Amino acid sequence: MEKKAVLFDLDNTLYDYEIPHRKALKAVHAELKKKIDISFVKFKRLYDLSKGEIHRELSGLASSHNRVIYFQRLIEKTHNTVDPAMILRLYSVYWDSLLKNAKLSDGVLETLKEIKKRGLRIGIVTDLTTHIQLRKIQSLGITRHVDVLVSSEEAGSEKPHAIMFLLALNKLDLSPHEVVFVGDNSTNDIEGANAVRMDSVLIKHGPLAKDVEEDYRKPNFVISKISEVLNILDGTL
C-alpha cells in the first residue's frame, strides 16, 4: 500500500548530536570555572557520574534525560549544597550552546520538503522532554515540515516502548502499514517500529559494530543518507 506518512527519530537522525553536545559541555565547564577551580577532566567525570546516577534512578522515564537534574546532581557534588541560580545557569548555557551549534545533516531539509511535496505527512518520535525537542525543531528550521511530535515525556515511556509509536499513529489517524519509521538506533528505533509492524528504516552513519542478529531488531531497509528515504517511498530501494 502507498505510504501516507514518514516518522523520524530526531537526535542523530536529522542532525548530529555528538559535536554540539561536546561544545555545550565545554561551554558549561567554562561557566562553572568562573565560580570554582575545576579542570575539564574532573568536571566531565562528575557530569558522567551524575548522569549515570540519574539514568539508573529514573530508567525508562523522560526525566532521565533532563539536563537540569544532571546539573543539580553535579552542583550538589561540587558545592555540597543546592545552588538554584548556578544550576539553572548551567542548564541554560548547555542548551543555548547546543542549539546554536546543531545543524541539520546533509540532505535532510531537501528530503523533508520533497516528502511534503508528495502529500505525505511527517512526524517526529523522540525521547527526551517536549520543551527541549520543540526548541530543537524551531532552531533547526523544520517547524513547517513537521505535522506531529511525540516525546517520551508526553507518552510516559521511552522508545522502544510501543506506546511511543502507537501515539504517533493515533495523532496521524493512520495504520502501521501506511507509515515508515526512520531512526539510527537498532534497539530504540527499529525494535519499537517493528513491534507495531511499521516498515522500519535504519540510517547508518558508519559501519555497524556488528550485524543485528535478533529478528525484532532487523530493519526493513538500511540507508546511509537520509535522501534514500525517497527511494524507499518510490519502491526503488
**How many residues are given for the chain?**
237
Identity of residue 207: P
Residue 147 annotated among the catalytic residues of the structure: no
* Side-chain-side CA neighbours of residue 128 (13 Å): 15
Which residue among the candidates 9, 127, 184, 199 is catalytic per the annotation?
A: 9
Cβ-contact 168, 198 below 8 angstroms: no
Spell out the alpha helix ranges (H) of the chain.
18-33, 40-57, 67-79, 84-101, 108-117, 130-140, 152-155, 162-172, 192-195, 228-234
Q: Is 9 a catalytic residue?
A: yes
**89: which 3 cell numbers?**
545557569
Q: Distance between CA atoms of 61 and 128, rounded to whole angstroms?
A: 9
193 alpha-carbon distance from chain centroid: 15
Among candidate residues 11, 127, 184, 199, the one labeled active-site is 11
Give catalytic residues, as residue numbers: 9, 11
